[in-house]
């Protein structure tokens, strides 16, 4: 796996923003990066419990896509029962500062609201 993702728009100034947004723009990706990065390795059900509000299929689909993108490493240990854990790759760890900045921005700029007025559901 390379330490860069392929893009078609490399020459455009906006390309880096668009490509990064495409990765982080998936609702659960920053949350998964945060929780996997918070653990040395994490199992599927532990991750699901820590995240809360995510279905098995959604978590599985996101982990599969993130593995294909080189963000997540899926480790399978041949034990009885088989032990599967997830960890950030070196490439995935590069997303942690962005996720931490998103958390900080949220702490500084989001407020409690009524469900009817909230933009994020």
| pTM of the entire predicted model | 0.80
Q: What gap in Å lies between CA 23 and CA 66, rounded to an integer? A: 9
Contact 59, 98 (CB under 8 A): no
Tell me: the pLDDT tens digits for 28-52? 999 999 999 988 889 999 999 999 8
Q: Domain limits of the chain?
A: 32-105
Q: What's the CATH code, domain 32-105?
A: 1.10.10.10
Tell me: the pLDDT tens digits for 74-121? 999 888 888 899 999 999 999 999 999 988 988 888 777 766 666 655
Start-end of H helices in the chain: 15-24, 29-37, 44-51, 56-68, 90-93, 96-109
**Closest among 102, 113, 67, 65 to 86, alpha carbons compared:** 67
Q: Who contacts 115 (Cβ-Cβ below 8 Å, separation ≥6)?
A: 121
């Amino acid at each position: 796996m390379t330490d860069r993702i392929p893009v078609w728009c490399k020459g455009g100034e906006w390309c880096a923003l668009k490509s990064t947004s495409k990765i982080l723009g998936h609702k659960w990706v920053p949350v998964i990066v945060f929780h996997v990065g918070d653990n040395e390795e994490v199992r599927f059900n532990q991750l699901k419990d820590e995240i809360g509000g995510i279905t098995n299929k959604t978590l599985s689909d996101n982990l599969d896509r993130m593995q294909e993108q080189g963000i997540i490493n899926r480790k399978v240990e041949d034990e009885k029962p088989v032990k599967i854990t997830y960890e950030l790759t070196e490439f995935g760890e590069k997303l942690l500062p962005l996720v931490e900045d998103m958390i900080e921005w949220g702490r500084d700029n989001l407020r409690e609201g009524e469900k009817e007025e909230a933009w994020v559901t």
